[in-house]
Amino acid sequence: MRQKYIIDKNVEQEELRISEYAVLDTHSKYRNALMVQQHNFSLIGEEKYDHQDVMQSIPKGREAVVDLLRTKNLFPIEPYAKEIAETVIALFRSSQDSTAEILFDDTDLLSTAQNEDTAHA
């Protein structure tokens, strides 16, 4: 599955919003990652966080940020959660509004796992 996370830090509203999108169409014409277009993604969830809560979690490290970001509505797998947390930390280094987009493809995880298995054999 291909997923996209839009991470939006809004200083004026004192909130962080993470929107999760996924490609839900499984037709073969979308199997090639290069062919996936913006309109192929569907919003599957969104979570808002208080600016101060995020600021307090950052000095505690990436795992604390992951713990804060994971909720019943937004619970990305560990590799994705870590990258999202790193992106949030980077966004909060600035005092301005900022947005980031992260794309994930589960086939990349499978390729990495297969390469690790081969290396350990």
Question: Mind listing the pLDDT tens digit for each residue in 24-77?
Answer: 876 645 455 545 566 689 999 999 999 999 999 999 999 999 999 999 999 999
Could you report the per-residue pLDDT of 96-117, keeping only the tens digit for each?
Answer: 999 999 999 888 777 655 555 5
| Confidence (pTM) | 0.82
The structural domain count of the chain equals 1
- 94, two tokens: 């600035």
In a domain, 49, yes or no: yes
CA proximity to 65, closest of 77, 56, 75, 74? 56
Type of residue numbered 16: L
In a domain, 121, yes or no: no
In a domain, 80, yes or no: yes
Q: Which domain holds residue 92?
A: 2-114
